[in-house]
Amino acid sequence: MAEVSVVIPAFNPGEFLGRALSSVLAQTLHSIECIVVDDGSTEDLTALAGHDDSRVRYLRQPNMGVSAARNRGVSVATAAFVAFLDQDDEWHPEKLELQLDRMRAADANAFCYTGFEWNRSGRGEVAGEQQVSYHGLLRSQHVCLSSVVVRRSAYLLVGGHDPLLRVMQDYDLFLRLSRIAEPVGVARPLVRYNLHDSNVSADYATAARERFRLIASHRDVALRVGDTATVKACDAGVQRTRELFGLQALEAARAAHRSSDRRSTALHLARAARLTRGRAAIALAPALQTRIRGGPAN
């Protein structure tokens, strides 16, 4: 029987799926099964993958979203441990072996994460190697889902991914898991997180709203039970969320400004002002306000 079930949700992945699967099949831990959940693709995933390995199986469902696809994969998984891999990410060959060694000594409900390498246009940046905690996640910490291994029983205990969420599905899951058991990590970048135009979300406003809502829900619970440490972590998380998404709004305003799109420039600048309560927008205000009014652009 497999020791780890790898779940890959896929929707028209193109060339990326083959590379993701190659990194799974190259693992030094051989006792794995890989479940590719085709979420209503128009592409032939078996042809795209380019692999004929008995450890890989394909499931197909109507397009229901990535969270539903992950939940479907976990529902048919046969191993005690589940690992997630996005269709366009890749793993270091030792990833699963190192994580299982770490997991065997951990709390039964803990999830295990690793560091990861951001990669965009050939430029890499290592991230995510700090000790992750429930309060740290509420404040600002980030975990890459493609780095995570969790016991199937723990995933099901907290209800898996929420299929109703459009964004922040992974953050929501990590908060629920870390609230019941301290996460454990492998302090090495064992995931290559590939950024490209098709997987970078431009809908920062929706993401910010959802993150505020999630933090608020955890704060409400903490208030009811008198957990002041969690309340403080939530308050810090709200401030950090304002800063992070305020910067994204400013970047969107700059891009619209360069494209001479006055309406979008004004929209993004107004969002930046709301998110940062006016502070971050000051940096762009003089030039952008002139452009928005139709004055000269110097």
Phi and psi at 4, nearest 5°, equal: -135, 135
Token look-up 């929209």 returns: 267
pLDDT, tens only, 126-142? 665 579 999 999 999 99
3-state SS class at 79? coil
pTM, two decimals, is: 0.88
CATH number for region 4-199: 3.90.550.10
How far apart (Å, rounded) are the C-alpha atoms in residues 96 and 295? 58
Closest to 110 (Cα-Cα) out of 100, 118, 121: 100
H runs (alpha helix) in 3-92: 16-25, 45-49, 66-76
Two structure tokens written together for 195? 């950024």
pLDDT, tens only, 12-71? 998 899 999 999 999 999 999 999 999 999 998 877 666 788 999 999 999 999 999 999
Annotated domain spans of the chain: 4-199, 204-292
Token look-up 């590719």 returns: 36
Handedness of CA 252, 127, 176, 199 (dihedral sign): positive
pLDDT (0 to 100) of residue 46: 79
Token look-up 């953050």 returns: 171
pLDDT, tens only, 88-106? 999 999 999 999 999 999 9
Other CB atoms within 10 A of residue 162 CB: 15
3-state SS class at 38? strand
| Three-state secondary structure readout of 146-208 | HHCEEEHHHHHHCCCCCCCCCCCHHHHHHHHHHHHCCCEEEEEEEEEEECCHHHCCCCHHHHH
Half-sphere exposure of 257 (CA within 13 A, CB side): 23
